[in-house]
Amino acid sequence: MIYFTSICANYLPKAMALAESVKAHCRDATFVLCLVEREIPQAASGFPHFDQIILAKDAGWEDFDQFIFRHSIVEASTAVKPQFLRHLIERFPKRDRFVYLDPDVLVYSDFSELEEVLDRASVVVCPHLLRPGNIDMEISSLAHGTYNLGFVAVARSDNSNRFLDWWAERLFLFCYDDKSRGIFTDQKWIDLAPSFFDVHILKHHGYDFATWSLLGSDMRKAEAGGYVVNGDPLRFIHFSGLDSGMIERAMGWWLTEENRPEFETLYRDYLRKLDAHGQATLGKTPWSYSNYADGASVSREARVRYRDPALWQAVPRPFASCDDEILQQGGGAVTTAGTTGEVPTLRMSPNPGLLDKFAWSTLEIGFGPTLAKALRKLAGARR
C-alpha cells in the first residue's frame, strides 16, 4: 500500500517517527511525504524512510499560491489531502490502495483488518468514538466531526474517485477552522460522506486510538507481543493534542491507576522518538508560506480577507502583495471562513433566477453582498 502524510516543515520529526513505524510494521509499504513548503529541507531529503517527497504545490494545482494564501498553517496541511490523494492515484498507476495518516501517528503493528476491508470497500474512515459515555468527547465530535481524518484509506475505484472529487472541491473553498458555521478544516465535511458515497466505517479499537478513546479503555500487553485495546490488537496511536498539552490533561482526566501505565509508557516512548528526530530544533522550523516576498509576515486578517473570490483577480499574486493592499480591497470585512459548498450548488442550478435568489438569501447571511456577488460570478465562470 501507499502511505502518506501531509505536513509543514515544523512537523518533520513527527513525520519521521511515523514513516519509521510504517516501514517497520506494514509490509510492502511505500511512504510518501507531502510537504506544504516552497522547498524540500535537507533534513527531509536525507531521511531514509521517506520513499518519495513531493511538494504540495507540485500535486496538480492550477494556482497553489492563491489557494494556500487563504489558509493558516494548520488549515493548509489538511486542505491539500484529497487533491494529493488524487495525485498519488495518478502517480502510481499500478498501485490500488492508498492510506493517509496524520503525522502525529505511530504504528505498532500491521493493518491486516484494513487490508481485508479494502478487498470489498473503497473508502474507509474511523469514528472518533466507538461507544457512548464520554460526554465531553461526544460534544467535541459534534463540533469537530464524527470521523477523525487522521486516518483515511481509499482503494482505486469509481466510488473513491467520486468521493475524492467531491471532497477536493469542497476543500478548495471551505477548509477552515470555522466551527461556528459548521466547518472544521477537512474533517467536518466527512460527516456527509456516508450519505453520498459507499463508505466503510472501521469500528476497531486498535485503529486511531487517541485521547478521545481513553475513558474506560483497557490497554494491556498481549501474550503474543504488542498490545491490545479493549480486546483488539493495537494498530496505531494518534497522539493528537501533543503540542497543546491536551494529552497530558486527558491522561489526568480519563485514566486511572489500572489503565494508565501502558498508555503512559507508550506516550513517553513516543516523546523520546521525537527528541531523537530533532524535535527541539526541526520542530521550530518557520513555515515558508508565512511571509510575503519582501519578508513581511502575512497577517491572519489578510488570509481571511483573501477568501473573498473577488480578490483572486484583483490581487492575482498574493505573496507579492502586502497586508495593506489586500485588506483595502472590496467592501466590508470578511471575517470568517465561508459557507458550506454553495458554489458547486449554484454552478449546477439550471435556473439563473433561482440561482441569484439562492446566492443572496443564503450567502448574505453573515457574509455580505460582496462575497455573495463574487461567488455568483465565480459560479457562472466555472459552468
pLDDT the model gives residue 39: 98
Alpha helices in the chain, H assignment, sequence order: 12-25, 42-45, 64-69, 73-79, 81-91, 112-117, 135-144, 158-173, 193-196, 246-254, 260-276, 279-282, 300-305, 310-314, 323-327, 342-348, 352-382
Would you place residue 352 in the very low, low, confident or very high pLDDT band (cuts 50, 70, 90)?
Answer: very low
Q: Are 318 and 66 in contact (CB under 8 A)?
A: yes
DSSP 32-84: EEEE-SSS--HHHHT-TT-SEEEEGGGSS-S-HHHHHHTS-HHHHHHHTHHHH
| Pairing verdict, β 232-233 and 227-229 | antiparallel
Angle (nearest 5°) at CA 143 between 267 and 132: 65
pLDDT average, residue stretch 151-169:
98
- Of 9-23, 161-175, 198-212, 325-339, the poorest mean pLDDT is in 325-339
Q: Is the pLDDT of residue 361 over 70?
A: no
Cell numbers 508560506: residue: 289
Instruction: Find all residues with CB under 8 Å of 376, minimum gap 6, and list them.
Output: 346, 355, 356, 359
Mean pLDDT, to the nearest integer, of 289-313? Answer: 96
Amino acid identity of residue 327, one-letter, is L
3-state secondary structure of 123: strand
pLDDT at 330: 60
Residues 57, 59, 60, 62, Cα dihedral to 10°: -20
Mean pLDDT, range 84-88, rounded to an integer: 98
- Beta sheet of 227-229, edge-to-edge order: 219-221, 227-229, 232-233
- What pLDDT, on a 0 to 100 scale, did the predictor assign at position 150? 97
Q: Residue 167: what pLDDT?
A: 97
Q: What is the pLDDT of residue 34?
A: 99
2-281 belongs to CATH 3.40.50.1000:
no
Q: Judge whether residue 262 has pLDDT over 70.
A: yes
- Tracing cell 480486546 back to the chain, one arrives at 231
Distances (CA, A) of 229 to 22, 130, 237, 260, 312: 19, 12, 11, 12, 49
Query: Average model confidence (pLDDT) for the chain?
Result: 88
Residues 6 or more apart in contact with residue 167 via CB below 8 angstroms: 82, 186, 189, 190, 193
Write out the DSSP string of 206-220. Answer: TSSB-GGG-TT--EE
Order the strands of the 200-201 sheet from edge to edge.
Answer: 52-55, 30-35, 2-7, 97-101, 147-155, 123-127, 200-201
Higher pLDDT, 336 or 219: 219
For residue 383, pLDDT beyond 60:
no
Model pLDDT for residues 312-342, shown as the tens digit of each residue: 999 999 999 999 999 998 654 444 433 333 3
**How would residue 348 be classed by pLDDT, with cut points 50, 70 and 90?**
very low
For the entire predicted model, the pTM comes to: 0.86
Question: Where in the chain do CATH 3.90.550.10 domains reside?
Answer: 2-281
Is pLDDT of 224 > 90?
A: no
Quote the pLDDT of residue 257.
86
pLDDT of residue 194: 98
